[in-house]
Amino acid sequence: MNLNSARIFAFVAAKGSFSAAAKFMGIPVATVSRRVAELESSLNVRLLERSTRKLRLTDAGATLYEFVSRGVEEMDAGLLALSENEHHLRGRLRISMPPSFEPMWALLDKFQTLHTNIDIDLFVSERRLDFIEDGIDIALRIGEVASQSAVARLLMTYRHRLVASPEFVKNASIQKPKEILKFNCAAWSQKNDVIVWTLGKESLTIYPFLRANDYLHMRYLALNGKCITELPPFFCKELIENGELVELLPDFPMPEQQVNLVYPSRKSVSRTTRVFINYCVDNFAV
């Protein structure tokens, strides 16, 4: 078996297409296709099912990828160890991120300031993009990661805060969770989901006057005295500290949320992706 062909096959499997693998490795698409075909011929087995939309590993291909990608990982680790200066890293990172996730903005800026030859394609979407079909290298995900085929690196945990403007609650005495049901509430929601706020050990079904999938809009309404709402801490911490918003029911905390960096496999992570992951783990803060 030709080891270089096997390495090319591993990148095709990881990137999800011949063209993506060719771009990543800096070689012609025709060369990638030919080398994979030669590998299949030498092994006398089909490794990839090809369609007009995407590639899919056969059972034999999945087995081979499992082992070949280990070698690719070790090779990349060796190259990284030999690199005397990570400032010389170059390449392109394709990152998926939820809308308005402000804590990542400065981090991405500082990373690119440090690694000037790394370009970033940022895909902001509520939809969980597919690593292979959408060509994503790494994704920032809120909440627990259920996929067994993905690797998750925990960046942080946080809790949403229940807030309103001082004017909105000036004449109100809210001591227990159920008491918020007397007031206008705005809630984050997708479509027609039933909205439940968990405050301490109590769960409340909320019937908001406005539901939205945009925390910035909800923050605007709260700041203008229109409602009670829940916000991630990075959207309200400074506003609470300077008195523009008031945190309600702090003794009844909302559930803990996880922030994870998620990527398809430890076995086929590029040097650029590996350096980015380690940078985020070391420097992420809210």
Nearest CA-CA partner of 9 in 58, 52, 51, 53: 58
**Listed range (7-21, 66-80, 139-153, 268-282) with the worst mean pLDDT:** 66-80
- Answer yes or no: are the C-beta atoms of 239 and 218 closer than 8 Å: no
pLDDT in tens, 95-115: 999 888 888 998 999 999 988
Q: At what angle are helices 3-15 and 18-25 packed, to 10 degrees?
A: 120
CA distances from 233 to 97, 161, 187, 257 (A): 18, 6, 15, 11
pLDDT in tens, 115-163: 888 999 999 887 776 776 777 888 888 877 766 567 888 888 899 999 9
SS3 (DSSP) at 267: helix
pLDDT at 81: 53
Q: Write down the pTM of the prediction.
A: 0.63
Nearest CA-CA partner of 227 in 200, 206, 252, 255: 206
pLDDT in tens, 23-41: 888 888 889 988 888 888 8
pLDDT at 241: 96
More confident residue, 196 or 70: 196
Where does the pLDDT of residue 206 fall: very low under 50, low under 70, confident under 90, or very high at 90 and above?
Answer: very high
Which domains are seen in the chain, by residue range? 3-82 (1.10.10.10), 88-153+259-283 (3.40.190.10), 161-254 (3.40.190.10)
Q: If you compute the radius of gyration of the chain from its CA atoms, what whole number of angstroms results?
A: 24
The proportion of the chain whose per-residue pLDDT surpasses 90, expressed as a percent, equals 36
Compute the distance between CA of residue 254 and CA of residue 169 in angstroms, rounded to an integer: 20
pLDDT at 84: 42
